Structure formats: C-alpha cells, structure tokens
C-alpha cells in the first residue's frame, strides 16, 4: 500500500513537472513570435522621443512668433522664423510618416504571428480530437486490463508507470491545446492595439498637414506683402541678387577646395604606388556626367533674362523653377559629394552637390534637408523635400547647374 502511495506521489510530481514544462515552452513560443517585432517597437519608441523633441522646438518657435519682438523684426527676418516653423512641421510630418511605416511593418508581423498561432492551435486541436476518439473507442477499462495482466509485483509497478505516462500524455495534449488557443488570443489582441495606435498616428498626420497649410499661407502672405510694397520689393530683389552672388562664390571656393583635396589624394596614391606601399584611399564620388530631373514637375520659370513686372528692368534668373507640391521628394541629379547644406534668406533651405569635373548642382527653397556637408550621395538619392522657404511665394524647386564656376541653363544638361 505504501508502495502504491509512493508511485502515485511520484506520478503526480512528474505530471506537475511536465505541465510546468509545457507552460514554459508555450511562453517561449509566444516570446519568440514577438522577438521579430522588438526592433520595430524600439524604432517606434525612438521616433516618439524624436517627436517630443520636435514638439518642444515648435513651442519655442511659436512663442517667438507670438512676441512683440517678432512684429518688430524686418520682414526677411520674420520670414526666416516662419520658415523655421514650416521646416520643423515638415520634419514632424516625416517623423509621423516613418512611424506609420513602422506600424504597418508591425501589423504585418503580428498578422503573421496570428497565422502561426492559429496553425499551432489547429495542430494541437487535431491531436486532442484524435486522442479523444481513441479514448472513446478503447475506454478507461483498457487501463485496468493493462494492470490486471501483470505477472508480478514489479511488473505491476512498471505497468502502473506506463499507465501514468499515458495519462500524463493525455493531460499534456489538452494543456498544449489551451496554451495554443491563449497564444492566438494574445496575438489578436496585440494586433488590435497596434491598429488603434496606427489610426491615432494617421489622425495626427492629417492634423499636421492642415497645420502646415496654414503656416505656408502665412509665410506666402508675408512675401506677397513685401512684393506689393515697392520699397520692400527693391529690398527683396537686392536680397535675392546678394544671395545668388554670395552663394555662387561659396560654391566656387568649396569646389576649388574639393578639387585640391582630390589632387592631393591622387598624388598621395601615386607616391604610395611608386614606393610599393599598401594604402587606403579617400573615396570622392564623381557623377556620370548625365543629369536626371531632381523632381517631377512642370517648369514654371526658365533660365535667363527676365523682365521685372514692376521695375521694368531686366534681371537674370540663374536656374529653373520646377513646380511641385509641398513635401515632394527632391533627389540628387547625379552622384557626388555634398558641398553645402544650409539656410539662406534668399534660397531658404538649400543643398549644393559637387559631381566632379567642375560640375555642381543647387537645390533651393526646400522645406527640409536630408543630407549634411561631406556626405557622398548617389544619383537619385533623396536630398530633401520641396518647400517654399526663403524668397518664394509657393512650393517649388529652384534648380541650378554650374560648370567651372559659371551657371548654365539646366535644361541643356537634363
């Protein structure tokens, strides 16, 4: 009798251990299905922290705009503050778009998790149904038959262990089915939560899009006001001409510096080859010589002399203006190295890329810039987004091409 109690106790302990093992395996399986999404969750967390920083910066800019000092600023200085706010809102929109992309990836992963969980549940259900059918056919009497057929006490104990193993296996099948069903429930709940968060981000995106439209109208109204005032218009024209001349001088100086660096690198490599030395070289990416359109759109203003509608005088338009909606992606017309990525009161946010051979391209009035000075870019790589920063009355890209320090008609190269 004592021996039977010991056997039963051991059987119960083993059953508990087996049950605990199954639970842990199920938990590990659930964690495994979520592991692939951990990177996306981290990225979403990082993007939300970035969003908080943008919101803080925007509060500071709005505070500046609402002060008396802002009203006392010169028109171009006020326009620059408004441009800063527009650029920041543009970065917020980029942030939300990236967050939405991450949520879409996360939803895809969770839908895949549900498929895996449902497949696992169906497998466990099939096993459970098969075992139930087997039990219905054989019944519990088969357990007693196994025990009654024992030939000795030791054989009885061995058969008792065998019966306990079968009972534990039956319990394990049932527990595995329950765990699989629970994992499916968890996966579906997680998917619904993620979809709700995605909808929240989509609502935020629509709010920001409406907000940036209001900001653009305010900035455009200021430019139109300056253009309506003859004296301010003269100042505006002089500002644009000064910006064009200064920026071109900077481009020429930077291009010459880059040319010298390339020549020094070439001489260094030649010296190393003559001395049979192994050395690493600095990569200066050069263009193909063929330019692609930096943005899709219609040319609204061409290169060359234009007659001013108010003054009646002629002035040079140093590039072409390509109409495009606010936020359209601007790409590098050819491969090269970024010479300048900055803000100018005339050009607004602008980027200059050197393509080698004395060829440079300039992209102006961006709402935001995606590259920094010294960055190597490939043909078609994003440089920024279309905007209307600087002296601009509407979203468009001002595109210039220079060869050996002189501006040329971009259409001759596109």
Q: List the single range of 37-46, 114-123, 204-213, 250-259 with lowest mean pLDDT.
A: 37-46
Residue 158's pLDDT band (cuts 50, 70, 90): low
Q: So what's the pLDDT on residue 27? A: 47
Residue 407's pLDDT band (cuts 50, 70, 90): very high
**Stretch 313-322: mean pLDDT, rounded?**
84
Q: So what's the pLDDT on residue 161? A: 56
Higher pLDDT, residue 99 or 34: 99
Q: So what's the pLDDT on residue 128? A: 60
* CB contact burial 13-50 (16+ within 10 A = b; e otherwise): eebeebeeebeeebeebbeebbeebeebeebbeebeeb
Rg (CA), the chain: 35
Share of the chain above pLDDT 70, in %: 69
Q: How far is CA 294 from CA 298, 341, 380, in A?
A: 12, 16, 8
Tens of pLDDT, residues 105-157: 888 888 887 887 777 777 766 766 665 566 555 554 455 555 455 555 565 45
* CB contact burial 332-361 (16+ within 10 A = b; e otherwise): bbbbbbbbbbebbbbbbbbbbbbbbeebbb
Best-predicted range by mean pLDDT (113-127, 266-280, 360-374): 360-374
Kindly report each contact of residues 350-357 with a partner whose C-beta sits within 8 Å and lies 24 or more positions away, as own/partner: 350/247, 350/390, 351/383, 351/384, 352/247, 352/251, 352/254, 353/377, 353/383, 354/254, 354/255, 354/258, 355/286, 355/287, 355/289, 356/262, 356/284, 356/285, 356/286, 356/287, 357/286, 357/287, 357/289
Give dist(CA 30, CA 234) in Å, integer.
Answer: 69
Q: So what's the pLDDT on residue 224? A: 76
SS (H, E, C) the chain: CHHHHHHHHHHHHHHHHHHHHHHHHHHHHHHHHHHCCHHHHHHHHHHHHHHHHHHHHHHHHHHHHCCHHHHHCCHHHHHHHHHHHHHHHHHHHHHHHHHHHHHHHHHHHHHHHHHHHHHHHHHHHHHHHHHHHHHHHHCCHHHHHHHHCCCCHHHHHHHHHHHHHHHHHHHHHHHHHHHHHHHHHHHHHHHHHHHHHHHHHHHHHHHHHHHHHHHHHHHHHHHHHHHHCHHHHHHHHHHHHHHHHHHHHHHHHHHHHHHHHHHHHHHHHHHHHHCCCCCCCCCCCCCCCCCCCCCCCEEEECCEEEECCCCCCEEEECCEEEECCCCCEEECCCCEEEEEEEEECCCEEEEEEEEECCEEEEEEEEEEECCCCCCEECCCCEEEEEECCCCCCCCEEEEEEEECCEEECHHHCC
Q: So what's the pLDDT on residue 32? A: 47
Residue 281's pLDDT band (cuts 50, 70, 90): low
Give dist(CA 209, CA 213) in Å, integer.
Answer: 6
Q: So what's the pLDDT on residue 129? A: 65
Q: How far is CA 351 from CA 22, 88, 341, 394, in A?
A: 60, 17, 4, 19
Tell me the CA end-to-end span of the chain in Å, nearest whole number: 98
pLDDT > 70? residue 279: no
Q: So what's the pLDDT on residue 167? A: 54
Structure tokens given for 258: 């880059």
**Stretch 236-244: mean pLDDT, rounded?**
75
Structure tokens given for 249: 């001088």
pLDDT > 90? residue 63: no
Q: What is the residue-averaged pLDDT of the chain?
A: 76
């Amino acid at each position: 009798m004592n021996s039977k109690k010991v056997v039963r106790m051991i059987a119960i302990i083993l059953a508990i251990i087996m049950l605990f093992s199954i639970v842990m395996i199920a938990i590990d399986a659930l964690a495994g299905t979520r592991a692939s999404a951990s990177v996306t969750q981290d990225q979403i967390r990082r993007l939300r922290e970035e969003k908080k920083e943008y919101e803080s910066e925007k509060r500071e800019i709005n505070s500046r705009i609402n002060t008396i000092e802002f009203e006392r600023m010169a028109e171009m200085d006020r326009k620059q503050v408004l441009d800063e706010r527009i650029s920041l809102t543009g970065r917020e929109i980029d942030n939300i778009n990236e967050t939405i992309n991450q949520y879409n990836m996360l939803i895809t992963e969770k839908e895949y998790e549900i498929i895996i969980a449902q497949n696992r549940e169906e497998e466990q259900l099939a096993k459970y149904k098969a075992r139930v059918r087997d039990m219905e056919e054989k019944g519990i009497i088969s357990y007693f038959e196994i025990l009654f057929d024992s030939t000795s006490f030791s054989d009885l104990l061995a058969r008792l262990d065998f019966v306990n193993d079968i009972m534990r296996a039956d319990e394990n099948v049932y527990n595995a089915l329950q765990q699989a069903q629970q994992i499916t429930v968890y996966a579906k709940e997680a998917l619904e939560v993620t979809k709700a968060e995605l909808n929240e981000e989509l609502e935020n995106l629509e709010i920001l899009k409406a907000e940036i439209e209001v900001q653009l109208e305010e900035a455009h109204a200021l430019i139109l006001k300056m253009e309506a005032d003859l004296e301010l218009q003269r100042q505006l024209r002089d500002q644009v001409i000064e910006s064009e001349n200064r920026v071109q001088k900077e481009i020429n100086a930077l291009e010459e510096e880059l040319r010298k660096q390339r020549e020094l690198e070439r001489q260094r490599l030649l010296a190393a080859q003559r001395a049979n030395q192994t050395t690493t070289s600095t990569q200066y990416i050069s263009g193909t010589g063929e330019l692609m359109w930096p943005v899709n759109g219609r040319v609204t203003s061409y290169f060359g002399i234009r007659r001013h509608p108010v003054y009646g005088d002629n002035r040079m338009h140093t590039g072409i203006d390509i109409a495009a909606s606010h936020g359209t992606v601007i790409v590098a017309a050819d491969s090269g190295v970024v010479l300048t990525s900055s803000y100018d009161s005339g050009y607004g946010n602008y980027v200059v890329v050197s393509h080698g051979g004395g060829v440079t391209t300039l992209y102006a009035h961006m709402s935001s810039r995606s590259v920094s000075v010294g960055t190597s870019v490939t043909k078609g790589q994003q440089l920024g987004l279309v905007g209307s920063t600087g002296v601009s009355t509407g979203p468009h890209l001002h595109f210039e091409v220079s060869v050996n320090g002189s501006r040329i008609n971009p259409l001759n190269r596109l």
